Amino acid sequence: MSDLQLRYFLVCAEEGSFTGAADRLGLSQPALSQQIRKLEQEMGIALFTRIGRGIQLTAAGRQLWGKVQPLFSDVDQAIRELQFQEGVIEGTIAIAGPHTALSYLLTPLISQHATENPDVRFQLHARSSQEVIQLTYNRTVDFGLVHSTMVLPPELDGELIHDEKLVAIFAEDHPAASKLQSAGELPANTPTLLFPKGYALRRAVDSAFANQPLNVAIEVETVDAMLNLVRRGSGICFAPRYVAEQQAGLAFAEVNNLDITLSLMLVTRYGKAIQPITQCFIDQLKSYCNRG
């Protein structure tokens, strides 16, 4: 039995699949599976059960996890803290979040941080809020960003860091543009482009228009596709103001008497030590989101 095999065991347990663990470790799936089999043979116990395409810890595997994971975590954290104190600023920061947040809200901050810290690498995972929760739960990412309407499992901590005001976005020559810009009124039966039901942005819009049903012309899963359709005059859409402000050739306006606001929440694994370079970035992120 080697320390490396135990490392492999921990990553497999976190990922819930040999394929995901192999990708994370930079190994082939057969090579990783072979190492786990050797570990199980040397210990004389089964550590995982195979369920479909995934894996799950056995009772013995859970006991081993409980003993080994805190030890490796403490060692890793001690090394990172020592490196950080000595000015070694390097490593990887893995973040999962909604496409709107990663592609629009955080782009300037991430770009600046990467320029100032060339030895820090970013891994960005644009996902739905539910997928972000799963990636954070599995420890695939250092932290996640989700909308506050999401319910978190007890293993995760959430902290509100930003309020997003949603606005109507439309082509400058759209028939509804005049009323929206001059009076903040959305004409009845205006074709609307929305995310599918179940998305946080969709829930916020549906709630705001509960007494004024919208004419939903198109449902689309990505904000970029939605904005391209808006540019072609297919209708209006709703997105955070910071998205609207970056759209050349499109106009935007708040709709009167409607409070369409979403809060962005930073999500971390409960009890998981955060590496210093990640904590440094999180502190900058909070300041950035709370700027005037």
pLDDT at 173 over 70: yes
pLDDT at 74 over 80: no
pLDDT at 44 over 80: yes
Q: Whole-prediction pTM value?
A: 0.68
- The answer for residues whose C-beta is within 8 angstroms of residue 120's C-beta and 6 or more apart is 89, 90, 91, 92, 93, 113, 114, 277, 281
CATH code at 88-162+263-289: 3.40.190.10
pLDDT at 282 over 90: yes
Residue 125: what pLDDT? 92
pLDDT at 102 over 80: yes
- CATH topology agreement for domains 3-84 and 88-162+263-289: no
Query: Residue 116 — pLDDT band, cuts 50, 70, 90?
Result: confident
Give the start-to-end residue ranges of the domains of the chain: 3-84, 88-162+263-289, 163-262
> How far apart are alpha carbons 157 and 159 in whole angstroms?
7
58-62, 148-152, 178-182, 189-193: which has the minimum mean pLDDT?
Answer: 148-152
The residue that leads in pLDDT, 152 or 271, is 152
User: What fold does the segment set 163-262 form as a domain?
Assistant: D-Maltodextrin-Binding Protein; domain 2 (3.40.190)
pLDDT at 88 over 90: no
Q: Is 167 helix (H, G, I), strand (E, B) or coil?
A: strand
Show the CA angle centred on residue 132, arms to residues 130 and 136, nearest 5°: 120
Residue 86: what pLDDT? 57
Class of domain 3-84: mainly alpha
Residue 266: what pLDDT? 95
> How far apart are alpha carbons 42 and 57 in whole angstroms?
17
> How far apart are alpha carbons 292 and 290 in whole angstroms?
6
> How far apart are alpha carbons 283 and 286 in whole angstroms?
5
The residue that leads in pLDDT, 87 or 252, is 252
Instruction: Compute the mean pLDDT over every residue in the chain, rounded to the nearest whole number.
Output: 88
pLDDT over 70, % of the chain: 95
C-alpha dist (Å) from residue 74 to 67, 70, 271, 279: 12, 6, 12, 16
pLDDT at 253 over 90: yes
Within the chain, strands assigned E span: 48-51, 54-57, 91-97, 120-126, 143-147, 156-171, 191-194, 215-219, 236-240, 250-253, 261-269
- Per DSSP, 273 falls in state P
Show the CA angle centred on residue 235, arms to residues 231 and 241, nearest 5°: 70
- The answer for residues whose C-beta is within 8 angstroms of residue 215's C-beta and 6 or more apart is 189, 190, 191, 192
* Token pair listed for 153: 């499992």
Residue 23: what pLDDT? 85
- The answer for residues whose C-beta is within 8 angstroms of residue 256's C-beta and 6 or more apart is 183, 184, 185
